[in-house]
Structure 1
């Protein structure tokens, strides 16, 4: 960053985290859709070689930066520092305008190194202020995720606010048991139920919720060089095609692979090019739960292309890719 004006109030930053498929992008869409009068710079990060989350966001007028070459809390933390620096420089030169930053991490991220950036990188800490870590928890799958993934526990432990999604898909008893478990991990963060990201913005923005001392109590090495390792069984792979899908063949194939592999399919999402549909077809899901909708139209000068990202444990990638290829039109 070059000569940055640090006299003005530091730009507040919200880290939006939560395990794969918990509903982070839904919540982010909710924030971007509100008439709050603020411009928001969004930094997206996905685990995998193809990023499509900007396609899932409803407000394309925001300043959106996508990082898809790794986990934001691992090798690309340097990229996070660089991107924040570039945003600050452009803001000072009047090239972009934003009032706050939201960082949506990959669902496999440990939020500690992301938060650490604002305390160990002096120039970043002078220009930006970490307001809060907001963690979205999937009520339907959280118990399994907390048992199997250290990152899911870290996301809850570091949260300043916990938003509990998909409670309509589980019983009240299961919800209460999960809330009790979340509070045993993090007693200081309020837990609120949300439905499709619907929550009051004053509960998640400008709350000054990040407490460094509280974090040091649970992570004494927080200000040191923190790193972590992902489950080596978890991999991502991408399907791409310029040919359209036959919708019937595609629906049949997806139904079959979800029946067999849903337990190990942690997350899948994509922008689909489907025969005789002039718009993008947005497709995403977690385990057996999948959803789809018609998205933005393909532009006249745009070449329609399917991009689907799968993230899962020991998945037979060739079977998925060959099966999808067989669903394309001739």
Structure 2
């Protein structure tokens, strides 16, 4: 038996040497995570021995903070199912959050896919977001050399910059400004925190989902951060003269709004088309959408590549803005193609069939 309310799941990622282990150690001492379950890839990779008080069994460790910690046994989905089942039977304390720590070389997308697409987990869990750790000293070189590191930043809801205290003098200041600027271009909406002076607290990092944990209501404006994505799109625009040695030369972000409603069938087809033709390059997508069948009750969308979380229908618009708002972080996709396709479906309600046909055909070009 699972909990009535879906359990928030957060993914902690970051490239090798970024300081993810140090951050995890710090966070696990925070009372905010005292009722969390932590899933790590290999127990030996995370130095938390000094926090252990007893071994509950061969897979689950109880820590001094009260957290539970376990390793991924073969398959992440099986591990989460096992934790939930044992929680339901009363064999484990009733943790209220799951934190998944990935390996330093990992593309976070498969982990996100597991949480967002496994039918058995959808009723029990909801993706809260992604925390990506970046080394301020070596981050520029890492982003230049490794496409995985760029993707980890691009899909993040929170970015934690480590080793800032090692940057000293004018050269250090220049390095700090450069890495911050690059992170902002890659992901303009992610909240950027540092480990310097313990700024990256658990509460600041883990309050990143759609629902405000204090009010239990949807905070769409904060979650979407559409204005930041739109500014990111202005910075990126239509770049064809980037340094091609940089993996992030092809990453762009943008947002758009639409006052007209879209039919449920049109929205479903729109999502299927962008997943089918652009799934691997659709790094992250969020949105709140006005549907024609009941314009007063919007749906919330959340996708990573070709996997979308089941839409959540709200009982009312959470703010005074009743327009569709969609935000995207993509690789090698231009804003006009996505925006034009969506508007073509809203045109269907007023008879714009020709626009729909043109935009659908353009996907094959």
For Structure 1 versus Structure 2, the TM-score category normalised by the shorter chain is 0.5 to 0.7
Displacement, 1:19? 0.4
Displacement, 1:221? 3.5
> Partner residue of 1:148?
145
Tell me how many residue pairs correspond in the alignment. Answer: 207
> Partner residue of 1:139?
136
Secondary structure, counterpart of 2:9 in structure 1: strand
Matched, 1:207 2:208: yes
Matched, 1:29 2:25: yes
1:83 to 79, 82, 85: 79
Secondary structure, counterpart of 2:99 in structure 1: strand
CA displacement, residues 224-274 of structure 1 (integer Å, 9 cap, x when unaligned):
8xxxxxxxxxxxxxxxxxxxxxxxxxxxxxxxxxxxxxxxxxxxxxxxxxx
TM-score (norm 2): 0.52
> Partner residue of 2:69?
64
After superposition, residues 1-330 of structure 1 pair within 5 angstroms as 4-5=1-2, 8-36=4-32, 38-46=34-42, 51-56=43-48, 58-60=50-52, 61=63, 62-67=67-72, 79-97=75-93, 98-170=95-167, 171-195=172-196, 198-208=199-209, 215-216=284-285, 221-223=305-307
Displacement, 1:167? 1.2
Q: Distance in 2 between matches of 1:214 and 1:58?
A: 37
Q: Distance in 2 between matches of 1:29 and 1:140?
A: 21
Displacement, 1:94? 0.4
Q: Distance in 2 between matches of 1:203 and 1:66?
A: 25
Secondary structure, counterpart of 1:36 in structure 2: helix
- Name which one, 1 or 2, has greater alpha-carbon Rg: 2
Question: Which segments of 5 or more consecutive residues in structure 1 lack a partner in the other structure?
Answer: 69-75, 225-330
Query: Is residue 21–residue 47 contact of structure 2 (8 Å, CA) maintained in 1?
Result: no
Query: Is residue 135–residue 159 contact of structure 1 (8 Å, CA) maintained in 2?
Result: yes
Query: Is residue 11–residue 100 contact of structure 2 (8 Å, CA) maintained in 1?
Result: yes
Displacement, 1:89? 0.2
Q: 1:198 to 1:58 in 2, by over 3 A?
A: farther
Q: 1:113 to 1:37 in 2, by over 3 A?
A: closer
Displacement, 1:39? 1.8
Q: Which has the higher helix share?
A: 2
Displacement, 1:114? 0.7
What is the Cα-based RMSD across aligned positions, in Å?
2.7
Q: Distance in 1 between matches of 2:120 and 2:285?
A: 22
Secondary structure, counterpart of 1:65 in structure 2: strand
Q: 1:177 to 1:57 in 2, by over 3 A?
A: farther
Structure with bigger RCO (C-alpha 8 Å, 6+ apart): 1
Displacement, 1:214? 7.9
Displacement, 1:117? 1.2
Displacement, 1:57? 5.0
Secondary structure, counterpart of 1:52 in structure 2: helix
Q: Distance in 2 between matches of 1:65 and 1:37?
A: 15
Q: 1:177 to 1:64 in 2, by over 3 A?
A: same
TM-score (norm 1): 0.57
Q: Distance in 1 between matches of 2:32 and 2:49?
A: 17
